[in-house]
Amino acid sequence: MNTPQGDSNPILAADPDWWRGAIIYQIYPRSYQDSNGDGIGDLLGIVHRLPYVASLGADAIWISPFFTSPMADFGYDISDYYDVDPMFGTLADFDALIDTAHRLGLKVMIDLVLSHTSDQHPWFEESRSDRTNPRADWYVWADPKPDGTPPNNWLSVFGGPAWHWDAKREQYYLHNFLVSQPDLNLHCEAVQVELLNVARFWLDRGVDGFRLDTINFYFADRELRDNPPLPPEERNDSIAPRVNPYNHQRHIHSKNQPENLDFLRRFRALLDQYPAAAAVGEVGDAQRGLEILGEYTSGGDKVQMCYAFEFLSNDFLAAARVADTFQQLTDAAPEGWACWAFSNHDVKRHCSRWELPPAALRQYATLLMCLRGSICLFQGEELGLHEADVAFEDLQDPYGIEFWPEFKGRDGCRTPMPWETESLNAGFSGEKPWLPVAPDHYPLAVDAQENDPGALLHHYRRAISFRRVHPALQKGAQSPIATAGDVLHFMRSDDREALFCAFNLSDRPGTIAAPGGIWDTVGVELNSASPMLDGMIHLGPWQPCLMRRR
């Protein structure tokens, strides 16, 4: 199903601004649905489950990488950008996925990894062959220091130095992640052109946009200067676990380079040739995440939206932290557009990370649907899945194996989606899955929750529906977030409506004064409280108040 850029796709053309305030459902293909009995999820498995995604009310899906890969980092190490890895299917299967999604009204965004490739990519194999071949400068190569040590002090996110010695070239190459993930050199014009060609290939195939992995890692400092140390009091574990020395540096030279802005402008110019194509960037930075978000999404000439890691960190998402994050966003990125997520394939599921009881899971889902910005939901989040406890002998993630047991890696959030309570492997596969299904995920399976009107799954559907029927929640303005103890509140408004939103983010009752004017309670299906005769709003534990100005 090749869709030339000149064709008018009604799904794409319906609203070129569809991404603003959109709900994007992330699918980790290895773990969503196995269609061929090999224990690994695949593209046809996703096709089979797309009606379920549509039933949630999502606007789009984001599919983690399915390209040809040796799978050292489970698809984030690409050896062929132009094909589907056989374990996931074929290009024809991908065409079927696009066609099915569009018929269901779902946009399709795919995960594009442009900062690095696999060391088995033909580009790298040629680049490492000698120092004079046509792709000799397609990767970041550097001579050693006179004593033979790496050219600088940069560290890998996955542990250890960010440099690896290549005996054939007698040089070091940069790898910000695994040794088998060499970094591309985007200072090279030919590399930029080829990466834009990759994006064009998939746009021509019908995708509606991209999730851009590690968007702030595209360029490294030309002079390869050392990173300065980061004081202990400024360290946090939002990007790497505390046991990783990566947290000991301020990464001002190994990423976040100013040249990235011009490349993003080129990328946006390509997107603009296609009706309503959009991109969301992953900003991996513990100190400047919101500032970079603002740089990359401002001006209408770079990517449409980015997400940072503020709501993906281990720190409990208390009312004050939500308010502080939005104030920082306002200060650092007044023209930016954020995409918010509580969980994804790289972090501990938020149910476990914040130790949330069922009522709190409902409250946070409602809060997410009321915040200004776009939204990413991670598969299984709508079921209330907690982090699975994966035994060491079952671990697949090299990151977890490296830092076990202080950090158990990312496998706990990547276990198979539970579809059927009574079926083998929860209906994911008829064979042993690549990761085990957590025993206590079976009772949370989709079929069980579909048959329970009070299940979290139906709350997510109601919360998503509430966002969709109130335009102010999708694209409207948001007032500064105020707090009163554990209660936060704000206004959302556009030229059609004004909504008052308050949330008690605690297991204790809370009280705030009702806003002036005449209001109607909305969101009763979400347990919304109403003002009392005394002019106060009395909120129970984990209870919202949602009102619309009359």
pLDDT in tens for each of the 550 residues of the chain? 443 333 434 444 568 999 999 999 999 999 999 999 999 999 999 999 999 999 999 999 999 999 999 999 999 999 999 999 999 999 999 999 999 999 999 999 999 999 999 999 999 999 999 999 999 999 999 999 999 999 999 999 999 999 999 999 999 999 999 999 999 999 999 999 999 999 999 999 999 999 999 999 999 999 999 999 999 988 887 778 888 999 999 999 999 999 999 999 999 999 999 989 999 999 999 889 999 999 999 999 999 999 989 999 999 999 999 999 999 999 999 989 999 999 999 999 999 999 999 999 999 999 999 999 999 999 999 999 999 999 999 999 999 999 999 999 999 999 999 999 999 999 999 999 999 999 999 999 999 999 999 999 999 999 999 999 999 999 999 999 999 999 999 999 999 999 999 999 999 999 999 999 999 999 999 999 999 988 999 999 999 999 999 9
In a domain, 219, yes or no: yes
Looking up residue 492, the CATH number of its domain turns out to be 2.60.40.1180
Q: Within a 13 Å sphere around the CA of 44, how many CA atoms are in the beta-carbon half?
A: 14
Q: Say how many domains are in the chain.
A: 2
Residues 272 and 355 in one domain: yes
What is the distance of C-alpha 117 from the center of its chain? 19
- 213 catalytically annotated: yes
Alpha-carbon gap, residue 68 to 534, rounded angstroms: 64
Give the torsion sign (CA, 192, 194, 199, 204).
positive
Q: What is the span of the domain harbouring residue 314?
A: 10-119+185-234+249-383+453-468
DSSP secondary structure letter of residue 338: B
Q: Which amino acid is at 307?
A: Y
Beta bridge partners of 63: 27, 110
499 assigned to some structural domain: yes
Specify if 112 maps to a domain: yes
- Residue 22 CA to chain centroid, in angstroms? 13
Here the tokens at position 356 are 């949330």
Helices (H), 17-90: 43-56
| Residue of 77, 93, 282, 346 with catalytic role | 282
Q: Could you say which DSSP state residue 349 is in?
A: -
Residues 200, 266 within the same domain: yes
Helix (H) or strand (E) holding 537: strand 536-539
The partner residues of 27 in beta bridges, in order of sequence, read 63
Domain boundary among 408, 433, 468: 468
Give a three-class secondary structure readout of 178-236.
Answer: CCCCCEECCCCHHHHHHHHHHHHHHHHCCCCEEEECCHHHCCCCCCCCCCCECCHHHCC
Does 487 lie in the same domain as 375? no
Query: Is the Cβ–Cβ distance between 69 and 79 less than 8 Å?
Result: yes
Query: Does the residue 58 lie in any domain?
Result: yes
For residues 314 and 306, the answer to whether their CB atoms sit within 8 Å is no
Is 145 inside any structural domain? no
How far is the CA of 65 from the CAs of 79, 80, 208, 420, in angstroms?
12, 11, 15, 26
CATH assignment of the domain containing 99: 3.20.20.80
| Alpha-carbon separation of residue 358 from 386, 388, 503, 540 (angstroms) | 11, 17, 15, 14
Return the pLDDT at 14. Answer: 64
Active site residue 137: no
* Cα separation, 452 vs 377, whole angstroms: 21
User: 366, 375 in Cβ contact below 8 A?
Assistant: no
Q: Are residues 491 and 376 in the same domain?
A: no
Question: Domain for residue 429, yes or no?
Answer: no
Within 10 A of 513 (CB to CB), how many other CB atoms are there? 12
Report residue 90 as tokens.
Answer: 């074929």
- Give the C-alpha separation, 54 to 512, whole Å: 37
* 508 and 541 Cβ atoms separated by less than 8 Å: yes
Sequence-distant (6+) residues with CB within 8 A of 173 are 128, 139, 140, 141, 142, 163, 164, 166, 182, 183
| Structure token pair of residue 239 | 């990007």
The residue with tokens 């995409």 is 339
Q: Is residue 378 part of a domain?
A: yes
Distance between CA 94 and CA 50 in Å, rounded? 13
> Does the reported pTM lie above 0.85?
yes
Q: Do 524 and 464 reside in the same domain of the chain?
A: no
User: Same domain, yes or no, for 488 and 363?
Assistant: no
528 and 458 belong to one structural domain? no
Residue 463 and residue 501 in one domain: no
469 burial (CB, 10 Å; 0-12 / 13-18 / 19+) is exposed
Identify whether residues 536 and 461 lie together within a single domain: no
Listed residues 411, 443, 468: the one ending a domain? 468
Residue 457 and residue 504 in one domain: no
Q: Which residues pair with 171 in a beta bridge?
A: 166
What's the token pair of residue 539? 């909120």
Among 443, 468, 493, give the residue marking a domain's end: 468
Phi-psi region of 209 (alpha: psi -120 to 50; beta: other; left: phi over 0): left
Q: Is residue 173 part of a domain?
A: no
Query: Are 476 and 492 within 8 A, CB to CB?
Result: yes
> 218 and 357: one domain?
yes
Choosing from 77, 111, 213, 397, which is the catalytic residue? 213
Please give the radius of gyration of the chain, using alpha carbons only, rounded to the nearest integer: 23
- b/e burial code for range 190-225 (CB count within 10 A of at least 16 → b): ebbebbbebbeebbebbbbbbbbbbbbbbbbbeebe
Structure letter (DSSP) for residue 438 = P
DSSP E strands: which ranges in 471-515? 477-478, 482-484, 487-493, 498-504, 510-513
* Pair 361, 492 in one domain: no
- How many separate helices (H) and strands (E) can be counted in the chain? 14, 21
The secondary structure of 367-383 as a DSSP string is HHHHSSSEEEEETTGGG
Residue 444 DSSP class? G
